[in-house]
Each structure stands twice: as C-alpha cells, then as structure tokens.
Amino acid sequence: MKALIVAARDFARDEEGITAIEYGLIAAVIAGVIGVAFGGVGDAIEAAFARIATTLNPGTT
C-alpha cells in the first residue's frame, strides 16, 4: 500500500505529463481554429475552382 501512495505522489509531482497535455490541448485548439477558418472559406474556394473549370472547359458543366 505504501508503494502505491509513493507512486501516486511521484506521479502528481511529475510535470512532464502535464506539459504534454498542455501542448496537446494547444494543438487541438489550433486545429479547431484552422478547421473553422477553412470550413467557412471552403464554399468560396469551391465556387472559384468551378468558375475556373467552366472557363477552361466551356463545353462541360
């Protein structure tokens, strides 16, 4: 039982795991922001490429 308490205390004092979690959360937030930013622009980009494709190949739709 004492070994379990010592292991739990050492785990709580270890800051490497906390840092890794913080970096993971920061990366998730950045990925979310990028996803939202490009999600909103996606329709405009798709329309622009459709206009370009129609201009280059006027016989196809």
Mean of pLDDT over the chain: 84
| pLDDT for residue 56 is more than 60 | yes
* Cα–chain center distance at 7: 33
* Confidence at residue 17, expressed as pLDDT on a 0 to 100 scale: 66
Over residues 32-59, mean pLDDT: 87
Residue 20, token pair as written in the block: 């890794």
* Confidence at residue 61, expressed as pLDDT on a 0 to 100 scale: 55
Q: Measuring CA to CA, how many Å separate 38 from each of 25, 41, 43, 44, 55?
A: 20, 5, 9, 10, 25
* Confidence at residue 44, expressed as pLDDT on a 0 to 100 scale: 87
* Confidence at residue 45, expressed as pLDDT on a 0 to 100 scale: 87
pLDDT in tens, 23-45: 889 999 999 998 888 877 888 88
Residue 25, token pair as written in the block: 């959360």
